[in-house]
Structure 1
Amino acid sequence: MYNATLRLVIVNDSATARAALRRAFSVPGVEVVGEAKDGAEGLAVVAALRPSAVVMDIVMPVMDGYAATRQIMATNPTPVVLVSSAVDPRDADVAMEALRSGALAIVEALPAVNDPAYEDRRYALVHLLRSMALVKLGRLKAAPLAPVIPRAAAGVARDVAAIGIAASTGGPNAVVELLRMLPLNVMPPVLIVQHMARGFAEGFARWITEATGHPTSVAVDRSPTARGEVYIAADEHYLGLDTSLRLVVSDAPQVGLFRPSGNYLFESLARSLGPRARGVVLTGMGDDGADGAATLRRSGGRVAAQDEATSVVYGMPRAAAQRGGADVILPLLEIPAWLCGQSEV
């Protein structure tokens, strides 16, 4: 899987930090092919060298890491991992800004070489960069479709009781783009399982509210749902829905790799709503949601999977399609019309 050399560009305004990262990456199969001392210089280096991945600082002169990452994604899409000692990657707002910029991950800077955790942290960083380098990125083209208008959503408002969405790598941006095109106030409640580190759910909910206008909150067990509202799975809890359209938030023992889980969400919708539910499987590594989506379809519900061209990682949607968990495979920006019954597929 990792046969090719991992070619890295380091963008950091500290010569000391760049030297420390060069030393950390002095392992077989990894080559630092370029460096830059600020974001603007980093753009030129990335364009010239076309690395496998970029290790980007955040706080820099001339152009910070967020702005540089946005420019890289717009002009030369390349996996970017933000690595910084100046900000706390566990801060939800920091993490959400990183994801908004297009970075695939944000991690804390490595400790000193004599720190007992150094080797483990260095290994984890190299492994993360190797994984991110496999991600195939593309520029998301502007939608040829206008946002769905409330009048056009009358059918889904009448016939569908809830929508479930599962996503992982690349998911936060995809979720926001999808929700931006859905009409406000009239859609069935939307339940979202997004794989992310502990502590980021609240920040993700705030971002969705601000970016889309859809009121979004972290799910609370037994709370009633409402049309026009969006609910995010709580940290390390399963998310589902009961027959009375109340949220089910469970810390039941973890089954499989994920909690929250797309499989749990879709299976819950299948049991509670059957044909009155819709599911969406978005970009992400692995296969979470695939089996649950197939269960939802067998119950009479319908499921859309994001296509490969618009996915950051075509793992979860591919698995859903392969296991009979997708009625349709669509570009991201065509899914809103499908949800509202405007699509021809």
Structure 2
Amino acid sequence: MSGAARRRPIRVLLVDDSTLALEIVRRMLEHEPAISVCGTAHDGAEALALIPRLMPDVVCTDLYMPGMGGLEFTREVMALHPVPILVLSIAVQREHADTIFEMLDAGAVDIVAKPRGGLCEPSAGLAGELASKIKVAAGVVALRRRRHRAAAVAAEPLPLAAARSGLRPRIVGIAASTGGPQAIETVLHHLPRDFPLPVLCIQHIAEGFMEGLVQWLARSASISVCIGQDGRPPLPATAYFAPDGMHLELDAHGCLRCSPELRGQQHRPSADLALASLARVHGRDAIGVVLTGMGRDGAAGLAEIAAAGGATIAQDEETSVVFGMPGAAIQNGAARLVLPLGQIAPALERLAHGESPAHPTVAKGHAR
């Protein structure tokens, strides 16, 4: 051990009605020195009673449990003992889509997919993903999520007169990762029903959950929300998401292109590929937005839109669940505006009509 004090392991509480599942998840994490399982519970009520005593840094919970299930448990935790929560679940079925994304809306940080065969067949990849997401979740301030969720929904109305931006936008690209489902829901909800541009949305999410995400968003968005189809031209007032496990971008003709090739990218879908394709096809007529998320995906693609003369926006640190992606876009000079989540939809509406956002925050002032 070095002279510097070693940081204590991340304390994790596991919640699942299956004793076997609890043991398997514990084994998945036992070789990770930065993580320590501090306790287990078989339902939400038992876990809720343990939290004040165990003081976990992160809670990993199943979705469906007898007694207090995952959704009620998440709401109670965020109201009584705010702790970052990860949802460990099988892929969302159509009838379950609302529940799991309501858990994210209630305060859960992210989803980790169980293998299709259940936790009886864990893989090294799943163990690595779970450990990685626990480390990200441990850095999230849970209290902040509830406060800014309430503030974000008060979007500003479009002023009657605004300065002309000189741009004639044709399309919007939005990129997000951790915390993204809630952030994208806020933006899409506040866009007007007749929003004149198509919106390409790149959301990092565990495989098997994209269709459920789209179903959940479609219930609250003012514009249409769907999975993109290869070769189709994007339409105004429609938000497109990548098919499960695929990239989503524009081809040379401005039509949607869906492809499974990794093409050197860490993520699929890749925000960098999507935003760069908007810059190539539409140049200064493209708008790019990078929302909350871990890592740097989207920063390079947003820089290409900025270099082409298009409008670029990054979510500010205060309203981001994780400031990695927007922070990287600000640091490399790609984001010309840095805005709180609640101001992004009004800014997009102004830009879509060729107007400058009112009282913009210039990115340079936020670079660190």
**Above 0.5 in TM-score?**
yes
Are 1:344 and 2:359 matched, yes or no?
A: yes
SS, match of residue 258 in structure 1? coil
For 2:11, the equivalent position in structure 1 comes to: 7
Question: Offset of 1:230 from its aligned partner?
Answer: 1.0
- Matched-pair contact (CA < 8 Å) for 2:12–2:59: yes
Q: Letter of the aligned partner of 1:46 in structure 2?
A: I
Corresponding pairs, count:
337
Are 1:80 and 2:85 matched, yes or no?
A: yes
- Matched-pair contact (CA < 8 Å) for 2:112–2:129: no
For 2:150, the equivalent position in structure 1 comes to: 142
Measure the CA separation in 2 of the matches of 1:211 and 1:125. Answer: 29
For 1:192, the equivalent position in structure 2 comes to: 201
Measure the CA separation in 1 of the matches of 2:98 and 2:12. Answer: 24
- Matched-pair contact (CA < 8 Å) for 1:92–1:199: no
For 1:98, the equivalent position in structure 2 comes to: 100
| Residue pairs, 1:167-246, within 5 angstroms | 167-241=176-250, 245-246=254-255
For 1:261, the equivalent position in structure 2 comes to: 270
Question: Offset of 1:241 from its aligned partner?
Answer: 3.0
For 2:65, the equivalent position in structure 1 comes to: 60
- Matched-pair contact (CA < 8 Å) for 1:39–1:63: yes
Root mean square deviation, CA, Å? 3.3
- Matched-pair contact (CA < 8 Å) for 1:266–1:279: yes
42, 47, 52: which one aligns with 2:47? 42
- Matched-pair contact (CA < 8 Å) for 1:147–1:183: no
Question: Offset of 1:150 from its aligned partner?
Answer: 7.9
Question: Offset of 1:49 from its aligned partner?
Answer: 3.9
Deviates most, 66-75 or 29-38: 29-38
For 2:365, the equivalent position in structure 1 comes to: none
Measure the CA separation in 1 of the matches of 2:300 and 2:150. Answer: 31
166, 171, 175: which one aligns with 1:162? 171
Task: Describe the shift of the 1:76–1:218 C-alpha distance in structure 2 as closer, same or farther (beyond 3 A).
Answer: same
Unaligned runs of 5+ in 2: 1-5, 351-356, 361-368
SS, match of residue 64 in structure 2? coil
Deviates most, 180-189 or 16-25: 16-25
SS, match of residue 234 in structure 1? coil
Measure the CA separation in 2 of the matches of 1:223 and 1:119. Answer: 37
Task: Describe the shift of the 1:76–1:190 C-alpha distance in structure 2 as closer, same or farther (beyond 3 A).
Answer: farther
Question: Offset of 1:311 from its aligned partner?
Answer: 1.4
Question: Offset of 1:264 from its aligned partner?
Answer: 1.4
Q: Letter of the aligned partner of 1:142 in structure 2?
A: A
Question: Offset of 1:145 from its aligned partner?
Answer: 6.6
- Matched-pair contact (CA < 8 Å) for 2:233–2:254: yes
Question: Offset of 1:29 from its aligned partner?
Answer: 4.9
- Matched-pair contact (CA < 8 Å) for 1:165–1:279: yes
Unaligned runs of 5+ in 1: none
Measure the CA separation in 2 of the matches of 1:153 and 1:264. Answer: 35
Q: Letter of the aligned partner of 2:72 in structure 1?
A: A
Q: Letter of the aligned partner of 2:138 in structure 1?
A: A
SS, match of residue 340 in structure 1? helix
Measure the CA separation in 1 of the matches of 2:313 and 2:44. Answer: 38
Are 1:320 and 2:329 matched, yes or no?
A: yes
Task: Describe the shift of the 1:329–1:19 C-alpha distance in structure 2 as closer, same or farther (beyond 3 A).
Answer: same
SS, match of residue 88 in structure 2? strand
Q: Letter of the aligned partner of 1:82 in structure 2?
A: V
Measure the CA separation in 1 of the matches of 2:125 and 2:201. Answer: 33
Q: Letter of the aligned partner of 1:38 in structure 2?
A: D
Deviates most, 231-240 or 189-198: 231-240
Are 1:247 and 2:252 matched, yes or no?
A: no
- Matched-pair contact (CA < 8 Å) for 1:153–1:186: no
Question: Offset of 1:95 from its aligned partner?
Answer: 6.3
Question: Offset of 1:220 from its aligned partner?
Answer: 1.3
- Matched-pair contact (CA < 8 Å) for 1:170–1:312: yes
Question: Offset of 1:93 from its aligned partner?
Answer: 5.8
- Matched-pair contact (CA < 8 Å) for 1:89–1:106: no
